[in-house]
A and B are shown apart, each in its own frame.
Chain A
Amino acid sequence: NAGVTQTPKFRILKIGQSMTLQCTQDMNHNYMYWYRQDPGMGLKLIYYSVGAGITDKGEVPNGYNVSRSTTEDFPLRLELAAPSQTSVYFCASRSLGAAFFGQGTRLTVV
């Protein structure tokens, strides 16, 4: 059972570089989310999607973009990486119950 799959697991970026964090789920969930987690700060919502073609901003969207062209995939794009974006990123999906999380991407911007 794959569940929610994120890639890559680790990445180091230089300031100003761009990258895409990939997320795919095989549970046919409509809702998908991107969170970032900083030490001692819990999980902060970056963007979410309620279905293919529909996305919206969460609590901390600045510096990020998303797209949702299919039910399965919800990539997160960083256009101009900044040190403040050093964090662990989690993708999650849910239907009406619990959210299920991917294994996370640890991103360092230097």
Chain B
Amino acid sequence: EDKVVQSPLSLVVHEGDTVTLNCSYEVTNFRSLLWYKQEKKAPTFLFMLTSSGIEKKSGRLSSILDKKELFSILNITATQTGDSAVYLCAVDDSGGGADGLTFGKGTHLIIQP
């Protein structure tokens, strides 16, 4: 049973489109939710969310958390081919990092020119 479920698993859009990636979770002691971008190497950190309703924003990317409904979304506006990657959602349910981050399977995003 997956604790962290991402949807869709893959998505193909055209350059300039806006995309919304979803992450739902079911953990016992939620501490934070993190988004990562992974191209052909190591995941790179995008956002860490701990509080509901507070949007985190970086350029064309933004993310928000809903702790009541147990999900988060990652939005990318005006997509570019460089946004093509696997986007990973991870949840820290340890309260102190002891059990590591639990990752979803990722959303494979392809931006077509």
Chain A residues close to B by CB (< 8 Å): 30-31, 33, 35, 40-45, 48, 50, 56, 58, 90, 94-104
Contacts and interface: CB of A to CB of B under 8 A. Distances in A.
Contacts of B103: 35, 42-44
A55 B61 CA distance: 36
Interface residues of B, number: 22
B110 to A, nearest CB: 14
Interface stretch (B14-22, B65-73, B75-83, B92-100): B92-100
Interface in B11-53: 34, 41-45, 48
B41 A42 contact: no
Consensus secondary structure, chain B interface? loop
A98 B45 contact: yes
Q: Which 3 residue pairs across A and B have the least CB separation, nearest first?
A: A101-B42, A43-B103, A42-B105
A42 B88 contact: yes
Contacts of B98: 31, 48, 50, 56
Contacts of A30: 97
Contacts of B41: 103-104
